[in-house]
A and B are shown apart, each in its own frame.
Chain A
Amino acid sequence: MALTQRALTTWASMVIFLVLLTIQLQTKQKQSWYLIFMPIWLDDALTALFIICSCVHSNSCQAMTEMPVFCGSRRCIIFVICLMKIIAQLTLCYKLENQNPQLPIYYIFLPIWTLIVYLIIIVIPPLVRHYKD
């Protein structure tokens, strides 16, 4: 998929998610939070599908030239991010579904913090390289 197509897919899933979220917050009759997160699950499923395809299809990434993010060592980074994102969403949905769970609040936030710290670690090296140049 080209960058435009990927960007529009993500955009569409975000719009649908935000519309569902707004309806959920606005109305008194609550739906399942797992259902509200459905567009994001679908987006994650698509990402997982691309990761699997890139692993199975070729090592040289000839078929993935439009998606450098799914090539070589980046595949591993993307896989970890995708996994942490899914875990963070699952814990968040669990908390929202069960208003009085035994799970302490920092357990809910732990995957989110890990994800953010991991993203910060990814963002810093290009920034340092840019300022060194």
Chain B
Amino acid sequence: MLFALQELVRWLGLTVFEMLVHLIALLVFTIFLALRLDDIAFTSTSPGSYDVWIVFSPLFVADVLCTYFNVIVLIRLYIEGHVKEAIARTVWSSAMLFVWSLFKVLLCRRLAGLSNLDYSEIMSPIFLILQLIAIRACQLH
């Protein structure tokens, strides 16, 4: 099912700016992934290689930018006196960013040959975040 932008903002608790950052990062990531799959660049599969991390780097950069943006929003909301709203927003955004980043780190380590984790263990942060998103969906009016 598809949603209007404002509906997504309400459901996922992401701002439009954060969505834009994630979309641009996703675009760059898919370009890097295509280069890797086509054996043009970032092709190394040896355990010590950083190539997998480079492919995933746009997604990590997006996470860092979103964290910086959230800190600024937290400070501004606190200064304006919306303490409760600031705390709720920061807790939600931090949880989302942490769990999403954890999934990417686990996946990168697996793809780089640094760990032998099962895919069910790698996907567990995603399932955790899906539970949180389901709770948020139930709170929508």
- The total of chain A residues at the interface (CB under 8 A) is 43
Q: Does A124 reach chain B (CB closer than 8 Å)?
A: yes
* B residues neighboring A (CB under 8 Å): 1-5, 7, 10-11, 16-17, 19-20, 23-24, 26-27, 30-31, 33-34, 37-38, 118-120, 123, 126-127, 130, 133-134, 137-138, 140-141
The proximity string for A residues 1-31 relative to B, scoring 1 for CB distances below 8 Å and 0 otherwise, is: 1011011111100110010011001100000
A-B contact pairs, 7 of them (CB 8 A): A4-B140, A4-B141, A11-B134, A74-B4, A119-B23, A123-B20, A123-B23
Contacts A3-B140, A113-B30, A120-B27; A46 near B37 (Cβ below 8 A): no
Measured between beta carbons, the chain B residues less than 8 angstroms from A68 are: 4
* CA A109 to CA B30, docked complex, whole Å: 7
Interface majority SS (helix, strand, loop, mixed), chain A = helix
In angstroms, how far is the closest chain B Cβ from the Cβ of A36? 13
Measured between beta carbons, the chain B residues less than 8 angstroms from A89 are: none
Measured between beta carbons, the chain B residues less than 8 angstroms from A130 are: 16
In angstroms, how far is the closest chain B Cβ from the Cβ of A68? 5
Which partner residue on chain B sits nearest A106 by CB separation?
B34
* CA A121 to CA B26, docked complex, whole Å: 14
* CA A104 to CA B24, docked complex, whole Å: 23
Contact B130 A105, beta carbon cutoff 8 Å: no
Q: Does A63 reach chain B (CB closer than 8 Å)?
A: no
Measured between beta carbons, the chain A residues less than 8 angstroms from B120 are: 22, 26
